[in-house]
Structure 1
Amino acid sequence: MRAALFSATSVSSAAPVPVAAPVAFHRLAVERTYPTELSAAVARGAVVVDIRSHAERAAQGTLPGALAISADIVAERLDPSGPGSLALAGDRDVEWILVSSDGTGSHGVVADLHAQGLRRVTHLVGGYEAIRAARLVEAVARAQHVSEDVARVTAH
């Protein structure tokens, strides 16, 4: 039916028809965790790592229950085979959620950790600002593993 709309003289077979370049689709560089998923993630045992600088934490507020490890050394601390790694990093089943100030700083760190072979690492979309806006700052501190750690430390 559509072909009937064109006359034989309006279409030239000699002229090449331009073809658009194929659009490349790429997988997302890193997995993400959304603020609305944070409570469920820590309830299942995810470890939240606050990678903001000391100055950012002082200005914005702390994230109770999160490990505070600056972005420049977090890769060393989470590397299971590294000499400066956390004891918890030896367990490859640990789920890590990195939190930066606004979510952009943690994206690249997660990509670097994935390149090191760590697969269960995500970044929090919107970072600490999103947690604070959603009133979820205390969600991390309510995690069972955090309560157990606090009990162990205070028992000594």
Structure 2
Amino acid sequence: MAVSERPVGIDELLDRVREDLDRIEAREAHDAARAGEALLVDIRYAALRERDGLIPGALVVERNELEWRLDPQGSHRAPEATGHDLRVVVICNEGYASSLAAASLRQLGLHRATDLIGGFQAWRADGLPVTGPTG
């Protein structure tokens, strides 16, 4: 940070990163994934996945591994990380951490990375498919 820059709080940082994201609603993400036009990436931690279930077809990647697994040039990339034009929709529990994660992926050149408004909870509230626990 330059000397003249002031520190920003998390709320301001979140607002800033979201200005550059084309965030999407759950139903749009579902339709894009079904059409093969987007890769859904679930970054929720294990306890939340165990409690609430999984989105069928979503790639599960812990947040601390996200950049390594989705960097198309990375030595630890997931097979799904096919290129920088990949449309990635990051999903967290409620749509906050996913915004920051999508911004980080954009810094790696994944220029179509975005996140799901409202996260997994919005997905479930819309009645979209979930496997595993429902409570």
TM-score per shorter chain, which class? Answer: 0.7 to 0.9
* Cα pair 1:75 1:112 within 8 Å, conserved: yes
1-structure distance, mates of 2:46, 2:84: 28
Q: Which of the residues 29, 41, 58 maps onto 1:38?
A: 29
Shift of 1:80: 0.9
- Aligned with residue 84 of structure 1, among 68, 76, 90: 76
Report how far residue 78 of structure 1 moved.
Answer: 0.5
Shift, 1:106, TM fit: 0.3
Deviation at 1:65, TM superposition (A): 1.3
CA distance in structure 2 between the aligned counterparts of 1:90 and 1:62, rounded to whole angstroms:
23
- Structure possessing the higher relative contact order (Cα contacts under 8 Å, 6 or more residues apart): 2
> How do residues 63-74 of structure 1 correspond to structure 2 at under 5 angstroms?
63-74=55-66
Q: Which has the larger radius of gyration?
A: 1
Q: Which runs of 5+ in 2 are unaligned?
A: 1-15, 131-135
**Which runs of 5 or more structure 1 residues have no equivalent in the other structure?**
1-25, 139-156
Structure 1 stretches of 4+ with a deviation exceeding 4 A read none
Number of positions where the alignment pairs a residue of Structure 1 with one of Structure 2:
113
Q: Once the 2 structures are TM-superposed, how far is the Cα of residue 33 of structure 1 from its aligned partner? A: 1.3
Contact 1:50 1:100 in 2 (8 A): yes
Give, as a single letter, the amino acid of the residue that structure 1 aligns with 2:121.
Answer: E
Identity of matched residues, % = 35
Match of 1:110 among 80, 102, 114: 102
Partner residue, 2:113? 121
When normalised by structure 2's length, the TM-score is: 0.76
RMSD over aligned CA atoms reads 1.7
